[in-house]
Amino acid sequence: MHRRSRYPQGMVRFTVLASGSKGNCTAVSGGRTRILVDAGLSSRELFRRMKLAGEDPETLDAIVITHEHQDHINGLAITARRLGIPVYFTEATHRAWMRWLTPRRQMTYAQWMEQCRKQAAERQAEANVSTLEGEADEPEPGTRPAESRPDPTAPAASATVSAASPPPPPALPEDDPRKNDPNWLPAVEYFQAGQPFAIGDIDLSPFTIPHDAADPVGFVFRAEGVRMALATDLGYIPPNVKAQFKGVDLLLLESNHDLEMLRDGPYPWSVKQRVLSRVGHLSNEAAADFLCHNYDGQAAYIILAHLSESNNLPELARITAERALNGHASLLANRLLIAGQHEPLAAIDF
Ligand SMILES: [Zn+2]
Ligand SMILES: [Zn+2]
């Protein structure tokens, strides 16, 4: 008879493989589709944890990326290549990721400007010393990855930041010379915040979150009628994000730090300021405030995520959220789970 490729049960599954500033990664399955949300673990560790959680990495169909911070993309290139699967980014996030990967560009914009100033000064000094005008016709060091594109005619005018470079070609038919290119991925797909799209049987609604990255997003995933929201790395919860959390069956929300622990903790003041800022991370108190005042109480599961290991304790996060849920947290509804950094959370099946 007809072959059925659907698995008989557990057709919708949500598995947090890792959560926190040392690596984030979640597997979402729906119907015949399986996707990875972020790839912040090394490929090896990611595979190990998937197997530990009863998932088969080989069945993954795609990777979607929330933003380019290292704890979300650390194992991305190797994992995508190993599995030969596409990566979904916003265009700005993809560009930021490429800039981060190209060693020359591991610097902030201010540092880059500073380097440009220094290089210009050095060139000027050299020009002053030697009166020869045999201009350097080699490309600016650090302006272009040493790979592809022999650009015979490009003069110094092409000395720009990588933001101007186009996305890489989708796939490479020839023998892999460019697999040495750290930017190379089997395929790249772009999405935009506010514009829902589908990967196989999973519908995704990406939404903008306030965080200090190029174009950070959270997601609502929908499969087989089950809605699952995921948002970490956000300085606060603006109305557009609150709206996304309505009517979800599962809510994974950041509960990064305890305000007092952060205040008294080991971070330098500048880092504390960053974490606390409107584009930093959500505190236990802010998550609780949402759960108390805005949450509609409909989710079967609430997962507190991206807990700081320096400025939080799982029990503090849990108690703060439980209080906010005002006794509604139970084994049947609003079941509260804490996602960890060092081991996967048991798979949640719908
Ligand atoms: Zn993060
Ligand atoms: Zn981040």
286 φ, ψ to 5°? -70, -40
pLDDT at 180 (0 to 100): 73
Cα–Cα distances (Å) from 33 to 51, 188, 308, in that order, read: 17, 18, 31
CA dist 66 and 205 (Å) reads: 12
- 149 lies in a domain? no
How many distinct structural domains can be found in the chain? 1
pLDDT at 11 (0 to 100): 87
**Ligand 1 center–CA 306 separation, angstroms:** 7
CA dist 218 and 231 (Å) reads: 5
pTM: 0.78
| Domain limits for position 315 | 12-102+182-349
Question: Which residues are within 8 A (CB) of 6 and not within 5 positions of it... i.e. 6 or more apart?
Answer: 31, 32
- And the tokens for 288? 């609780």
pLDDT at 69 (0 to 100): 97
Q: Which ligand is nearest to the CA of 24?
A: 1
- 283 lies in a domain? yes
- 277 lies in a domain? yes
Helices 284-293 and 314-325: angle between axes, nearest 10 degrees: 20
Q: Which ligand is nearest to the CA of 217?
A: 2
CA dist 25 and 18 (Å) reads: 5
Cα–Cα distances (Å) from 145 to 29, 137, 165, 185, 342, in that order, read: 37, 16, 11, 16, 35
- 139 lies in a domain? no
- 167 lies in a domain? no
Cβ atoms within 10 Å of 71's Cβ, excluding its own = 21
- And the tokens for 279? 């584009």
- 175 lies in a domain? no
Query: 3-state DSSP call for residue 165?
Result: coil
- In degrees, rounded to 5, the angle at the alpha carbon of residue 311 between the alpha carbons of residues 209 and 275 is 35
**Ligand 2 center–CA 182 separation, angstroms:** 21
User: Tokens 């903790």 sit at which residue?
Assistant: 265
Closest CA to 248 of 224, 223, 220, 207: 220
Is the CB of residue 171 less than 8 Å from the CB of residue 187? yes
Closest CA to 347 of 59, 19, 17, 46: 17
- 1 lies in a domain? no
pLDDT at 123 (0 to 100): 56
**Ligand 2 center–CA 275 separation, angstroms:** 10
Q: What spatial distance separates the first Cα and last Cα of the chain, rounded to whole Å?
A: 28
Q: Which ligand is nearest to the CA of 274?
A: 2
339 φ, ψ to 5°? -80, 140
CA dist 206 and 209 (Å) reads: 9
| pLDDT in single tens digits along all 350 residues of the chain | 343 344 444 589 999 999 999 999 999 999 999 999 999 999 999 999 999 999 999 999 999 999 999 999 999 999 999 999 999 999 999 999 999 887 655 566 677 667 667 766 665 665 555 444 333 333 333 333 333 333 333 333 333 334 444 444 445 555 665 667 888 999 999 999 999 999 999 999 999 999 999 999 999 999 999 999 999 999 999 999 999 999 999 999 999 999 999 999 999 999 999 999 999 999 999 999 999 999 999 999 999 999 999 999 999 999 999 999 987 777 778 999 999 999 999 999 99
**Ligand 1 center–CA 66 separation, angstroms:** 9
**Ligand 2 center–CA 309 separation, angstroms:** 15
Looking only at the bridges linking them, the beta strands covering 335-338 and 348-349 are unpaired
Query: 3-state DSSP call for residue 302?
Result: strand
Q: What is the tens place of the pLDDT at every residue in 20-66?
A: 999 999 999 999 999 999 999 999 999 999 999 999 999 999 999 99
Cβ atoms within 10 Å of 289's Cβ, excluding its own = 17
* CA 157 and chain centroid, separation: 34
Cα–Cα distances (Å) from 90 to 34, 194, 195, 234, 264, in that order, read: 20, 11, 11, 17, 37
- 115 lies in a domain? no
- And the tokens for 30? 């729906």
CATH code: domain of residue 317? 3.60.15.10
Closest CA to 20 of 312, 307, 345, 310: 307
**Ligand 2 center–CA 212 separation, angstroms:** 7
Q: Which ligand is nearest to the CA of 280?
A: 2
Q: CB within 5 A of ion ligand 2: which residues?
A: 69, 233
Is the CB of residue 229 less than 8 Å from the CB of residue 28? no
